Amino acid sequence: MEAVIRRFTLSLSLMLLPALAAAQSVTAVSAANFRQIAPDSIATVFAPAGSRFTTVTAEALSLPLPTEIGRVRVFIDGLSCGLFYVSSEQANFYVPAGVSPGLHLLQVFTPQGQTFSGQILVMQQQPGIFTLAGSGQGIAAASFYDYGAQYCISLYGTGFGANQGATLYLADGRSFQASYVGRAPGFAGLQQLNFLISERDFPHYRSGAFVRVWTEGGGFYDTQGFEIDYR
């Protein structure tokens, strides 16, 4: 299990996401699906058009996350954020669990002495599922385990916040309750969802899906739609 998650996380830190930044300021989006961000999650900030953060491309190699890579630093309201990855166009960073929902000041300091800033809205929860394309669309980054009488599907996401579980909904109307929703062992901001499905109910085909995350107050948040390739 650890080896599978470790390989996935490495690809996450390396992936290059399409530039979505505004021209005059910076903002941050979920690294999973480009929606708004939440505490204890993985986020991405893009360099403004025509600008660059740094001339190097580098990633964090271990925990605890460094707060500076390639002389790039990211702050939320003056609080230093751990970094996963930096390049000329983007920085992937950890949104600290202590950041409260609401409006905050995001700042990116570069080795050239520039400071890019912008206002960000942090949600209480904003769950997203990582996909193989790194775009939030297409096939989910999933692990499959065959236990004979049943299968386990593990999905990986971020922005779940405090929750009371999750349900996987398939395009054919079937649904499966998560047997585990929590932090992926050994990683910051990365959540893991395990779904146990009997051999009889396991779909051996590619299917559309989404995950509904249940909140402590009885409400819910839905992830973006994605696909799972069970073949």
CATH number at residue 103: 2.60.40
Domain count, the chain: 2
Q: Give yes or no for residue 88 having a pLDDT over 80.
A: yes
Let me know whether 108 and 144 are in one domain.
no
Q: Give yes or no for residue 7 having a pLDDT over 50.
A: no
Q: Judge contact between 126 and 30, C-beta under 8 A.
A: yes
Q: Give yes or no for residue 211 having a pLDDT over 60.
A: yes
Which of 122, 155, 188 terminates a domain? The answer is 122
Let me know whether 21 and 115 are in one domain.
yes
Let me know whether 137 and 77 are in one domain.
no
Which of 122, 152, 183 terminates a domain? The answer is 122
Beta bridge mates, 155: 142, 193
Assign 57 a pLDDT band (cuts: 50, 70, 90): very high
Q: For residue 19, what pLDDT is reported?
A: 41
For the record, the structure tokens of 137 come out as: 């669309």
Amino acid at the residue 183: R
Let me know whether 118 and 132 are in one domain.
no
Q: Which domain holds residue 155?
A: 128-229
Per the prediction, the chain carries an average pLDDT of 88
Let me know whether 160 and 116 are in one domain.
no
Q: For residue 145, what pLDDT is reported?
A: 93
Q: 226 in the Ramachandran plot: left (φ > 0), alpha (ψ -120 to 50) or beta? A: beta
Assign 8 a pLDDT band (cuts: 50, 70, 90): very low
Q: Give yes or no for residue 23 having a pLDDT over 50.
A: no
Q: For residue 202, what pLDDT is reported?
A: 83
Let me know whether 104 and 80 are in one domain.
yes
Percent of the chain whose predicted confidence (pLDDT) is above 70: 90
Distance CA 41, CA 48 (A): 22
- The Cα diameter of the chain in Å comes to 60
Which of 122, 157, 176 terminates a domain? The answer is 122
Q: For residue 58, what pLDDT is reported?
A: 97
Strand, helix or coil for residue 95 = strand
